[in-house]
Chain A
Amino acid sequence: MNVNFKIWRQDNPHSKGHFEQYGVEGLTGDMSFLEALDHLNERLVANNEKAIAYEYDCREGICGQCGIFINGRAHGPHDHMTTCQLHMRSFSDGDTIVVEPWRAAAFPIIKDLVVDRSALDNIIEQGAYITAKTGTAPEANAILIAKDLADKAMDAAACIGCGACVATCKNASAALFTAAKINHLNSLPQGAHEASKRVMQMTKQMELEGFGSCTFTGACEVECPEGISIVNIAEMNARRAKAKWWG
C-alpha cells in the first residue's frame, strides 16, 4: 500500500517546526506503524537526508516509550493501544496520515516527534514509593491483602507512563497518571503510613510541572493503553481532600 505521511519536523527544542510531506510506497498491512516510519527513514538516509526522530523501545506495548499523535489521536485511531501496537492495516491505500508529537507545555519537544517527559518522573520522585530499605521487609504473607483490594491496586498500577493521557487532554492534565500511582500505593496497607504525605506532595508537584487541571473530558481513559479508569482521578481528589482537611 502507499500512504502519504505528513510529519512534524523540528530540529531542536528552540527551532520552529513545520510539517513535511512524504509519500511512502511499498508498505504492507502487516507492518507496524513504527516499521512504516523505519521504512521511510531508510529511504531518507538513502537520499542523504536526516532520519526522523521518534521514540520506541520494547515495541510490544509495555515500556511506554513510544507515543505519537496520529491522525488526531494519541497513539492512533484505536482505543487502548500504544503506537507500537498500531499496524498499517488500520489505514487504507492512499491515506494521508498526519503525525505530530505529544503537545503539552510540560512535555517540551526535543526533536521531531520526541518529547521530554521527565516531568512525569518528577511527580513519581515526590512520593510514589514506600519508604522501606532493602532488607527491612517482614515475611510476605504477614501482610494480608484481600483479593479485590489487590486487584484494584493492580488496575491502577498498570500505568505504563506513556503520557497519552497528557497528550490527549485539552488541558494537558497529568491527573490520570498521578491518580493511578497514588491510588495504587495509598490503597495498600504497606502504603498507608505515608498516604497523606504522598498525595499532597505528588499533586503539588503535578501543578509545579505545569500540567493543566482535570475537567473530566474522559479522553484520557479512552487513549490509555491500559484502560485506567477516570474514576481514579475522583478517588485521588477524595484522598487529597482527606489529607488536606484531616491530615
Chain B
Amino acid sequence: MLNAKIPEGDLEHKWRNYQMQSQLINPANKKKLGVIVVGSGLAGAGAAATLAELGYDVQCFCYQDSARRAHSVAAQGGINAAKNYQHDGDSVWRMFHDTLKGGDFRSREANVYRLAELSAPLIDHYVQQGVPFAREYGGVLVNRSFGGVQVQRTFYARGQTGQQLLLAAYSQLYKMKRAKKVRMFPRHEMMDLVMLEGKAKGIIARDLVTGELKRFAAHAVVLATGGYARVFRLSTLAIGCNATAIWKAHKRGAYFAAPSFTQIHPTALPQTSEAQSKLTLMSESLRNDGRIWVPKKKGDGRRANAIPEEERDYYLERRYPSFGNLAPRDIASRAAKERIDAGYGVGRLKNAVYLDFSQAIGRLGRQTIADRYGNLFKMYEKITGVDAYEEPMQISPAAHFSMGGLWVDYELMTTIPGLYAIGECNFSDHGANRLGANSLLQASIDGYFVLPNTINNYLAGALQEDHPTTDHPEFEKVENEVRDHIEKVLHVKGNKTVDHFHRELGKIMWQECAMSRNREGLEKALVQIKEITDAFWKDVNVTGGHQEMNTELEKALRLADFLELGLLMCTDALNREESCGAHFREEYQTKEGEAVRNDEAYAHVSAWAYDQGRFTLHKEALTFEHVQPSVRSYK
C-alpha cells in the first residue's frame, strides 16, 4: 500500500498542520539550491516564478518557442473558486464536496479539500497580477455557473480565461528572468530524467533548434508537462502535447496512477477526414441554450432543418430528464457515442450529433444568442464554413483531459525522491472525472501555492549533500542512452510516416479505451498496440538528421512513448473491473446503461510501477471520512 503522507488533524486543519511541521530553509541557503521545472503552463510557470521569488535558482524548460504558448491558453470557460461572492451558499466545504463527487469518489479527500481551500487566495493573486476578469458595472467580480454544480463560482475573462491566466504566470516568470533568478530554455524538450543515488538530480534535454543534447543538474526536478490525450491522436490538445517527460520518469521509477482515466469532452467538432489533426473544442456553456438531438430514423439522409420536430430524438432530455442537455461531461459523451454507434449519427461521416439553437433563437431572439455565444458561433463558422444561426451545429465527443498521471503524495512528490509532478501531469485531485473550470484551478494551485510550500521539506535535506553537477558519469550514461534511442529511430528507415502509426494507435485507443471499455476489446487492444509498436520499429521513416531542427523526429520520439503509454492505459482499464466517472466498463452497468461503481474492491488509486516493459500494480487506499460515497444520478 502506498502512503500519501496525509497530515494529521481535521480536514480543515491538515494543510495548516502540514505547513507548521514542514522544514524551512533560510533565504541565504535557498539560492544555493537549484530546481528544474519542465513545462511553462499554469503549473510550471507559476511554480518557476514563485520558487524564484522565494530565492531558489530555477531553470525552466518548454518545447514551444515561448513560455506563453503552453496549452493552458486553450481553456475558455473559467476558473472555479469558493469565494461565495454570489451569496448563493457556496463554501470551501461545498466546493470540496462537489469536486469529490464529480470525480466519482476516486480522489483523496485531503487533496481535494486543499484545492478548494486555496482557490480563494488564488483569485486574489490573479487579480493582483492584472488578469482582466469580467466585472459588474460597480466594479466587483462576476461569476457564472458550470456543469456539475448548483452555485455560481466560476471566474472568467471573456472566452480567454486560460490565456489570460497564463499570460499572468508567464509575465511573472519573465519578471524573475529579468531579475536573473530564472533561466529560460524555450524550444528544449526533456528527453530523460537523471538520477543520482536514487534521487532526481537532473534532466537531459534536446535543443529543438540545433538538435544538441544538453545536460542540466539541480537539487530537485519538477514536471509540469500537462496531459497526454494526444495518445488518441485526435484530441482537443495542442499538437505538441506529449507524455515523454512523465513516461521517462515512469520508466525510471515513478509510479503512474490511474492512467486510463481520460475525460472525453462531449462538445468538440467532429472529425471530417483522415487527414484531420485536431478536434476543436466548443465551450460547454453552449449546452445552456442548445438542444442535442439525432434523427429518430437510422441513417436519415435529410438535412437537419428538413427533419420535422416529431422525428427528432432529444436523447439527453429523454434519458436524463432532470439535467437534460446539461448532464455532466462523461454522461453526455457516452450518450452521444451510444447513439452514433447505433447508427443514428449525423454529418458526412455519421460521427456527430446536432446541437440546435433554433428554438433558443426563436424564444430569445438572434441578438441574445449572439450576445451570449457570438464568438463561439464565429469560431464555428471559421472552422466549418457553416452558419450555426441557420442550421444546427454538428458536435462530437473528443479526448480532452487526463485525470491520470504520475502518482504523487500530499506534497506532490512522485515515488522518486526529489521528483515532483504538478498540474495535469499528476494524478491528484480530479478522481475519475474532472469538473469544468477545475483544471486551471488545480494547475495554478499546485504551481503557486502547494509546491513552493512542500519542496522545502525535501530540499532542506539536500543542503548537506554534494552540489549535483553534470560531470557525473550518470549524466553521460543517460545522455548516451538518449542518443542511442534517437539514432535507433532514425536508423529504421522504413516506408511509413510517423503520422501513419499515430493514426493507427489513435484508432485503437479511441475504439477500446475511451468512452466505454470492455474486457474483450481491451485485451484485443493490448495485442494490436504491440503489433503497431513492432511495426513502428520496423517500418517508420524519419527523414533528416538529429543535429538540426527536425519536426518529424520530434513526433517520432513522442509517438514511441505514446505507444508504450497506450499499453499501460489499456492494462489499467482492464484491471479496474468497475465503472466510475470517465472509466465505463460495459460489463458493469445497470439495465438502463448507467455506471455501476464497486467501492468494496476498487476504492483505491491504482498506481503502476514499470519494470522492463511490465507493469506492476500498487494501491493507495482511499478512505472517506467526511463524505460517504453515493451513487451519482442525473436522472
Contacts and interface: CB of A to CB of B under 8 A. Distances in A.
B499 interface: yes
Given A38-B499, A51-B544, A130 B129 contact: yes
Contact of B163 (A31, A134, A140, A160): A160
B129 A55 contact: no
Interface string A106-128: 00001100101110110011101
Contact of A134 (B85, B137, B452, B549): B452
A218 to B, nearest CB: 22
B133 interface: yes
B543 A188 contact: no
A62 B209 contact: no
Interface string B166-186: 010011101101100000101
A4 to B, nearest CB: 18
A137 B124 contact: yes
Contacts of A215: none
A137 B122 CA distance: 9
Contacts, number: 224
Interface string B220-243: 000000000000000010111000
Contacts of B276: 31, 35
Nearest to B209: A110
Interface string B128-164: 1110111111111100000000000000011010111
B272 interface: yes
A65 B241 CA distance: 13
Interface stretch (B64-72, B245-253, B422-430): B64-72
Contacts of A31: 273, 275-276
A154 interface: yes
B357 interface: no
A134 B139 contact: no
A30 B139 CA distance: 44
Interface residues of A, number: 79
A125 B128 CA distance: 18
A59 B127 contact: no
A55 B83 contact: no
Contacts of B170: 124
A126 B178 contact: yes
Contacts of B167: 157
A31 B46 CA distance: 36
Contacts of B500: 42
B448 interface: yes
A39 interface: yes
Interface stretch (B333-341, B379-387, B615-623): B379-387
B280 interface: yes
A247 interface: no
A53 interface: yes
A28 interface: yes
Interface string A53-73: 101111111111100000000
A85 B383 contact: yes
A48 B167 CA distance: 40
A182 B543 CA distance: 44
Contacts of B541: 45-46, 48
A157 B129 CA distance: 12
A111 B275 contact: no
Contacts of A89: 385
B73 A58 contact: yes
A146 B130 contact: no
Contact of B238 (A58, A129, A140): A58
A129 to B, nearest CB: 4
Contact of B71 (A57, A125, A131, A160): A57
Contacts of A41: 497, 552
Contacts of B160: 62, 154, 157-158
Interface string A83-123: 00101010000000000000000000011001011101100
B379 A61 contact: yes
B71 A63 contact: yes
A12 interface: yes
A161 interface: yes
Nearest to A156: B132
Contacts of A46: 495, 497, 541
B157 A124 contact: no
Interface in B430-451: 448-449
B549 A57 contact: no
Contacts of B133: 150
B559 to A, nearest CB: 14
A29 B386 CA distance: 13
Given A31-B273, A46-B497, A51-B544, A129 B129 contact: yes
B19 interface: no
Nearest to B280: A60
A117 B124 contact: no
Contact of A132 (B129, B238, B275): B129
A50 B163 contact: no
Contacts of A131: 175
Nearest to B495: A46
A56 B276 CA distance: 14
Given A89-B385, A132-B129, A134-B125, 16 more contacts: A28-B273, A32-B277, A32-B278, A53-B549, A57-B240, A65-B69, A81-B382, A125-B177, A129-B129, A137-B127, A141-B141, A147-B139, A154-B158, A160-B73, A161-B68, A190-B130
User: Considering the complex of A and B, which 8 residue pairs feature the smallest CB-CB distances, nearest first?
Assistant: A144-B139, A137-B128, A129-B171, A154-B132, A137-B124, A59-B278, A150-B135, A129-B175
9 contacts: A38-B499, A48-B541, A49-B543, A57-B238, A62-B160, A64-B73, A140-B124, A158-B160, A160-B73
